[in-house]
Structure 1
Amino acid sequence: IQPRLADPSFKPQRSHILAAVENFTDVLRIRYSSPLFRLRTANAIQERIRFHNTGPSWVPGFIVMSIEDGNEGIPGLSQLDPIFSYIVVVFNACPTEESFSSPTLRGRTLQLHPIQVTSTDETVKKSSYEASTGCFTVPARTTSVFVEPRKI
């Protein structure tokens, strides 16, 4: 790795630094967009968070996590978020685009988080969710957040 680090062509340009700052700012804005990203107790985390890419067919480096908010159909689970009822975060650390389907995630009205839709990061905008199959497709080395707006 030393020869690569010594190569002046690998020096970050101003545009790279500004893009990194902007992407990190997007992450912070997403975190603060929902109280579901700031659960305060172990019990709250255990009640609301599920991991879906598990079992014998799991894809290493690909994490699919859902966070559920309370509603009338879930007794005992209080509503924390007035905007989103369900969130799925997909972490793809793989060097290639990956897809994941789950029957438990079919039929939802998930969409890419509005902050990522308006992001200057063109890669994250290629992330997709297909409701009929419950399939998420996420580009290489990308974290995508999908949200289900609360039905009013």
Structure 2
Amino acid sequence: MRLARLDVTLAQLAGLPVLVGDDTRPVVVRVSDADTVVALAGVCDGWSGSWGVWLRAHEGYGAGMIARDVKTLSTLLQVDHVVIDAATHARAHAEVVSALLSDDEVTLHNDVARITRAFNRPAPARPVHVWHVDDGVVSDDVRGLRRTSVRANVTYFEG
């Protein structure tokens, strides 16, 4: 499995041509100087294929809001991957995001949330693969992807 992170500023993102994602080599976008979801929503018209977002969870932007934003963005763009980065508890944030991106009733108590019998419907039309970053490794608890190379503003993770 290979995942590529495209690091851009808002100006760089706005200057990109219409892009086409690739299901076999997913690209997750991280905008360094703006809200990634809002920035992508503003430029993704015409983009096709599989995409992902790299989002940083923190006290003011927790897992519930991330799930809401990913769900909203998935109505505009085919979002197949979300990577959750956080100073602490990235795995717990990812667990909440994953649960809230389903159509299921959610009861979950962990280090970042206490949710009892909640729904976040409708779920995105396609399943979203939720990853988290732990000590520099991008993981989904089944596999871990380590940074293998950096080319310009693209960082590759493989495993």
Q: TM-score when scaled to structure 2?
A: 0.27
Q: Which has the higher strand share?
A: 2
Q: Which has the higher helix share?
A: 1
- Give 1 or 2 for the bigger CA radius of gyration: 1
Q: TM-score when scaled to structure 1?
A: 0.28
